[in-house]
Amino acid sequence: MFWSKAFIPTLKEAPQEAESLSHKLMLRAGLIRMLISGVYIYLPLGLKVLNNVERIIREEMDASGAQELLLPALQPLELWQKTERDSLMGEVMIRFVDRKGRKLCLGPTHEEVITFLAKTHINSYKQLPLVLYQIQTKFRDEIRPRFGLVRSCEFIMKDAYSFDKDEKGLDKNYQKMYNAYKRIFKRCGLNFYVVSADPGVMGGDVSHEFMVPAESGEDKVLYCKNCKYVEAFRQESIQLSCPKCAHNLDKINTLEVGHIFKLRTKYSLSLGAQFLDKDGIQKPLIMGCYGIGVSRIIPAIIEQNHDAEGIIWPKEISPYKVIIIPLNIYERKVMEIAKYIYESLINLGIEVILDDRDEQAGVKFKDADLIGIYLKVVIGKEFLSKGNLELSLRKDKKIIKVKKEAILNRIKKLLYE
């Protein structure tokens, strides 16, 4: 992509609506725009970041044996009445009656629909275990949307559902998902805590939350620096020393990015999803569910990866891996080498943006730092005088001087090593 043709509307100042650091940076870097409070447009750069997050999730879910499908946003309210969650969800669930008089809702989650599907198609223990997942848009009538993509009315979730014939199978799938989640958040460049949690409206008895330390996070965890013990902070948490080593506990603001649940038979019983076991006996399916706040991961990454100049994308998340900045676009030799590197990287399958705008060096450097591209190649004065190109990683900004002949190998090494 040539920057002069790209739709990347960066801003010098964040709009007033922005409250948190990540929200400000997402607006300034041209990742998102607000349509109305709680409802956002993903601009091209933001969509690339979202796609990178989704790719990591898909790779790890597929590797764990889960199969992707796609469930509809429109759901019949009747299913929610059967599980008694219609009233539990309260006003946060968007409902309406269609022209034919059908009572519908926009799914804030999909336990009911997936259990309906399982009831139709899982009949025998031979079809188990089965894990299905989707990456899909969810809706909530959020009374107080905040922090951009952190708490919004329309957002993207990954939700997975496991079906097993017994508790042992559920334990195994739960552990598989737990491990997949750790790999996903690590690849996203996140530090995180895992804490036991209250299953809440999901039901079931065991659940774990994946919490990312972030200044604007509204959930809190208690953490022991001494022995690494961690637990969710609750109103009842009056005892504030570590139960393991009696050291002081730190209260840390965090963002919830994942939550996994052992649902057991809550949904299969209320919706009648049964299977025949080895002995020919009808039993309810044993279920688990596993959620990731896909769009919320983006602000979580930014909260943990930024400096005063802007975003510092982790390698796998960076919307372009390389940015090429020719300082004098009117110098033929400068643009020749810029385009040579650009085309070579495209041929190698490496996403690259060439800043061909007629702008001052300062503007180009500021924008590159703001949008946080992983690796920068500058073609400046030293190229004409000494043949040197300047490579630097966004995260440390140390400049590596490289000759033209060595540039591609050096870039490959920095991206793949």
Burial (CB count within 10 angstroms: exposed 0-12, middle 13-18, buried 19+), residue 240: exposed
Q: Taking a C-beta distance cutoff of 8 angstroms, is the pair 252, 213 a contact?
A: yes
Q: What is the SS3 assignment for 173?
A: helix
Select from 3, 116, 193, 342 the one that contacts a second copy (CB under 8 A). Answer: 116
Token pair in block for residue 104: 């519908």
Q: Taking a C-beta distance cutoff of 8 angstroms, is the pair 264, 204 a contact?
A: yes
Select from 17, 41, 225, 363 the one that contacts a second copy (CB under 8 A). Answer: 41
Exposure pattern of 332-365 as b/e (b: 16+ CB <10 Å)? Answer: eebbebbeebbeebeeeebbbbbbbbebeeeebb
Nearer to a second copy, 27 or 214 (CB): 27
Q: How far apart are CA 69 and CA 134, in angstroms?
A: 5
Site for a second copy in 59-78 (CB under 8 A): 65, 67-76
Q: How far apart are CA 180 and CA 189, in angstroms?
A: 15
Q: Which stretch binds a second copy (CB under 8 A): 45-53, 200-208, 274-282, 406-414?
A: 45-53
Select from 60, 154, 164, 367 the one that contacts a second copy (CB under 8 A). Answer: 154
212 near a second copy, rule: CB under 8 A: no
39 near a second copy, rule: CB under 8 A: yes
Nearer to a second copy, 65 or 387 (CB): 65
Q: How far is the CB of 280 from a second copy (least distance, A)?
A: 19
120 near a second copy, rule: CB under 8 A: yes
Residue 250 amino acid letter: D
121 near a second copy, rule: CB under 8 A: yes
267 near a second copy, rule: CB under 8 A: no
Residues with Cβ within 8 Å of residue 343, at least 6 apart in sequence = none
Select from 19, 21, 33, 250 the one that contacts a second copy (CB under 8 A). Answer: 33
164 near a second copy, rule: CB under 8 A: no
Nearer to a second copy, 125 or 139 (CB): 139
Residues in the chain: 417
**Residue 73's closest CA among 93, 56, 54, 92?**
93
Count residues contacting a second copy (CB under 8 A)? 49
Q: How far is the CB of 226 from a second copy (least distance, A)?
A: 45
Q: Which stretch binds a second copy (CB under 8 A): 87-95, 170-178, 346-354, 386-394?
A: 87-95
Nearer to a second copy, 153 or 230 (CB): 153
DSSP for 184-218, please give it. Answer: HHHHTT---EEEE---GGG-SSEEEEEEEE-TT--
14 near a second copy, rule: CB under 8 A: no
80 near a second copy, rule: CB under 8 A: no
Q: Which stretch binds a second copy (CB under 8 A): 116-124, 209-217, 347-355, 396-404?
A: 116-124
Q: How far is the CB of 65 from a second copy (least distance, A)?
A: 7
12 near a second copy, rule: CB under 8 A: no
Select from 14, 19, 21, 44 the one that contacts a second copy (CB under 8 A). Answer: 44
Distance of CA 49 to the CA centre of its chain: 9
363 near a second copy, rule: CB under 8 A: no
386 near a second copy, rule: CB under 8 A: no
Nearer to a second copy, 49 or 391 (CB): 49
Q: What is the SS3 assignment for 281?
A: coil
3 near a second copy, rule: CB under 8 A: no
Q: How far apart are CA 345 and CA 321, in angstroms?
A: 10
Q: Which stretch binds a second copy (CB under 8 A): 132-140, 249-257, 306-314, 332-340?
A: 132-140
* DSSP category for residue 271: H
Q: Taking a C-beta distance cutoff of 8 angstroms, is the pair 80, 95 a contact?
A: no
**Residue 184's closest CA among 318, 299, 306, 294?**
294
**Residue carrying structure tokens 């050096």:** 410
Q: Taking a C-beta distance cutoff of 8 angstroms, is the pair 254, 260 a contact?
A: no
Interacting residue ranges for a second copy, rule: CB under 8 A: 5-7, 9, 33, 35-36, 39-44, 46-47, 50, 65, 67-76, 91, 94-96, 98-100, 102, 106, 113, 116-117, 120-121, 130, 132, 137, 139, 141, 143, 153-154
